[in-house]
Amino acid sequence: MSTNALSASRITRRTLLIALSVVVVLLATVLIGGELYARHAVASCISTQFEKEMGSEVDVSFGAKPMLVTWMDGKLSSVRVDADDANFGRAVGMSVHAVLHDVDVADQNGGVIGSSSADVTWSNEGIQQTLGGMVSRVSSSPSSGVLTLTVLGGFGQLELKPQIQDGTVQMETTSAQLFGIGIPSDLVQSILDTFTEKLQSYPLGLAATHVEVTDSGIAVELAGGRTQLEPADGSSGMQC
């Protein structure tokens, strides 16, 4: 083979390698860009659903499955939803960390969650803010499992013990004292009604399975089964 032919062959191979390298870089860029776009789009779609239910902003994260695959089949093995200032109904000051399993975002009726679990903490400060003017201070004792609410301008104390009943958190009154005598029953009942109302409204079909009193408030474990989500735009399909 002549020198010119060898030189032309080397140039051809070099050109081919450069072209292949450019194609690989372009393909990688498209895939990475597509993955980032898909993650953003699916996260937006799912977070919209949960924010409707929880009344507060949430952070959504996914498992290892590439979102481009989810974009095509609509299936997510797991989704994590975190909210540091969540609202269940009108309750404030809650922290929620939930995991949703077997999520189908392509369901024509708006999306389906196979099952779910969540850990919820409600701080003493959040409880006090939620109860408003009825309560001036809330403290908690893990050893006794009791919440102590300071009422009537600091002159009365109401002790409540949380417990699970029919998938919700109920409050049992263990003590209600004002200068050593009983607090008026209508005030106690008003506080109890307001308190338990805030702990009986859970999103996404979740129900309470365990509750405990901590140093800073109360912690509730929730679990849920198959749950239907509404379409993101009020029409059929979540359009993720």
The pLDDT of residue 32 is 56
At residue 13's C-alpha, the angle toward residues 7 and 16, to 5°, is: 140
The pLDDT of residue 124 is 94
pTM of the model: 0.72
The pLDDT of residue 238 is 43
Scan for tokens 């989810």, then name that residue. 70
Q: Which long-range contacts (C-beta less than 8 Å, at least 24 apart) are formed by 155-163?
A: 155/179, 156/183, 158/183, 158/188, 158/191, 160/192, 160/195, 161/213, 162/199, 162/211, 162/212, 162/213, 162/218, 163/211
Q: Which of 169, 49, 165 is nearest to 121 (CA)?
A: 169
The pLDDT of residue 239 is 47
**Percent above pLDDT 70 for the chain:** 59
pLDDT tens across 92-145, in order? 788 888 898 888 766 566 678 889 999 999 999 988 988 877 788 999 999 999
Does the structure show a pLDDT above 80 at 213?
A: yes
Does the structure show a pLDDT above 90 at 216?
A: yes
pLDDT tens across 11-61, in order? 666 666 666 666 666 555 555 555 555 566 566 666 776 676 666 677 877
Report CA 91 to chain centroid distance, whole Å.
15
